[in-house]
Amino acid sequence: MTAILGLDDVSYAYRGARPGRYAVQGVSFAIETGLNTGLVGESGSGKSTLIKLLLGLMRPTTGRIVFDGDPLDLGDRAQMRVFRRSVQTVFQDPYSSLDPRQRVGRIVSEPVRSLQIASGREADALVAEALQSVGLPADAASRYPHEFSGGQRQRIAIARAIVSRPRVLLADEPVSALDVITRSQVIALLGELGARRDLTVLMVSHDLGVVGALCQRTIVLQGGRIVEQGPTSGVLGAPREPYTQQLLASVPRLPQIRPGPG
Amino acid sequence: MSLLEVASLTVTSSDGVARVRDVSFTVEPGERLGLIGESGSGKSLTAFAVIGLLPAGLTATGSVVLDGTQIVGAPEKHLVPLRGRVGAFIFQEPLTALDPLMKLGRQLAEPIARHQGLRGQELKHAILDALDEVRLPEPERIAASRSYEISGGQRQRVAIAMALACRPRLLIADEPTTALDVTVQSEVLALLDRLVADRDMALIFVSHDLAVVSRMTDHALVMQAGEAVERGSIQTLLTSPQHPYTAAFAASAYRIETGFAAAIANGQDQ
């Protein structure tokens, strides 16, 4: 197992926060190839701060971000180009994350252009391939976001995220704005993409059910600190910490189905 | 006589589009009914129409008889006495229900004073009792706070206290826990469950989440694109759905549930 992206004893305090008041504190974990990781926590747990740090959008107050074994230096342009290509993201709300005035083809090709991966026909081919991978019709490229449903828009956002063939996809509550039928389809898609494209997903979610369905590893956060982390089966199946136990007990469950005939 | 009788309810928007079409159902005193559907299914509009709270631009036709009173087409002055006493509403976002400029105790005082005819010290005690009943810590502090000074879960508890202040016979809860964290959701659901049982209220529980609905009621009406497609026990909706939409909806909910259950079971085996 190789760690692609990780945090090494990272703390972060927002500017203007009271002294000693950290949004995240002493957080260490690594995203390892092939192990989808779920980051679970409630409001104020530091999930969003961690995502911003992992995306290289802000510098840790102390500690470091580690990318491919090296500390990530936000000022190192060569390293950042490789980083941007390798680490992509999908946001929660597919209604606000897609520019309504751009055609889907242009939206999806944005990373290809800005990271100077390809141009012209070659870029079009990458876009078509990405759209196909997420199960959208080829003619989607020439249409506008408003012509698509919420689930399809989230597929467009995923296509944009995978077009540069990243190794890590950071997904911030990728299905919580979706209806249940679309939700299970998008979860299935994320799982498939991982297997087909050597893509490892780090998913932030408040929904343990969704994490259990997609992730091999689970990290539980509370108040900016890691409470428990490990294989999902262990964290969800035999949680050691009282907070994890409380979270699990709070998950609404479907009633057990009585086994029917056949 | 049913507490609520909805017959051929249709809700039309100003551009002539039917957002709810020909929906009929009944709720008996003390009965609980889930309204399940995805966004755009018309479940919330149906709930609003039951108590005559449709947003501007939407018109109801058909019949909604609540405790013997026809709601559809009734003038506002006939509806006011029903709201709170016969039917009360809990919204998804408690900030919608609470006035940010008014102390919470004063907001709660209005329905209590009107319903129970209390004043002065007695009214003050009744307010603190109402806050205590929804398990809010430090009722005095909450009563003196404004809505933005307390947490989301506490706000929803205050909104519940307000909805229950006039002892309604029917409580309509529209996604009351969707905006809350999962541990808070679990506490608020337990609270609602207990309050509805203690007071023998009827409950219409609107939600997109089958698991949450099943926590509150064992009976539900499934809505899709403005129509009621199927009504039955949750068990039946899950095991032998009659309508293809119910089948797809149940299968999706189960797919996530199964992944979750499997993850837990794997850990327990080790």
Domains belonging to chain A, first-starting first, are: 3-13+21-250 (3.40.50.300)
Arithmetic mean of pLDDT, B248-268: 82
pLDDT value, residue A213: 87
The residue that leads in pLDDT, A260 or B27, is B27
Decide if pLDDT at A1 tops 90.
no
pLDDT value, residue A261: 37
**B197 shares contact with chain A (CB less than 8 Å):** no
Q: Where are the domains of chain B?
A: 1-86+170-238, 99-167
Hey, are the CB atoms on A213 and B259 less than 8 Å from each other? yes
Arithmetic mean of pLDDT, B24-40: 94
Q: pLDDT tens, B177-223?
A: 988 888 889 999 999 999 999 999 999 999 999 999 999 998 999 99
R_g of chain A computed on alpha carbons? 19
| pLDDT band (50, 70, 90) for residue A202 | very high
Mean pLDDT of the residues in chain B: 92
Where are the extended beta strands (E) located within chain B?
4-13, 18-27, 32-36, 58-66, 69-70, 87-90, 170-174, 202-207, 219-224, 227-233
| Number of helical (H) and strand (E) elements in chain B, helices listed first | 11, 10
Of B183, B211, B266, the CB nearest to A253: B211
Decide if pLDDT at A257 tops 70.
no
Decide if pLDDT at A38 tops 90.
yes
Arithmetic mean of pLDDT, B35-54: 93
| pLDDT band (50, 70, 90) for residue B269 | low
pLDDT value, residue A177: 79
Decide if pLDDT at A259 tops 60.
no
Share of residues in chain B with pLDDT > 70 (%): 99
Decide if pLDDT at A28 tops 50.
yes
Q: pLDDT tens, B62-114?
A: 999 999 999 999 999 999 889 989 999 999 888 888 999 999 999 999 989 98
Mean pLDDT of the residues in chain A: 91
Q: pLDDT tens, A39-53?
A: 999 888 999 899 999
pLDDT value, residue A151: 87
pLDDT value, residue A16: 85
Give how far B218 is from chain A: nearest CA, Å.
10
The CATH classification number of B1-86+170-238 equals: 3.40.50.300
Hey, are the CB atoms on A232 and B263 less than 8 Å from each other? yes
pLDDT value, residue B220: 96
Hey, are the CB atoms on A237 and B211 less than 8 Å from each other? no
pLDDT value, residue B90: 94
Arithmetic mean of pLDDT, A7-24: 91
Which residues in chain B (86-115) have CB-CB distances under 8 A to chain A? none
pLDDT value, residue B268: 67
**B138 shares contact with chain A (CB less than 8 Å):** no
pLDDT value, residue B255: 82
Q: Which residues of A touch B235 (CB under 8 A)?
A: 255, 257-258
Hey, are the CB atoms on B248 and A251 less than 8 Å from each other? no
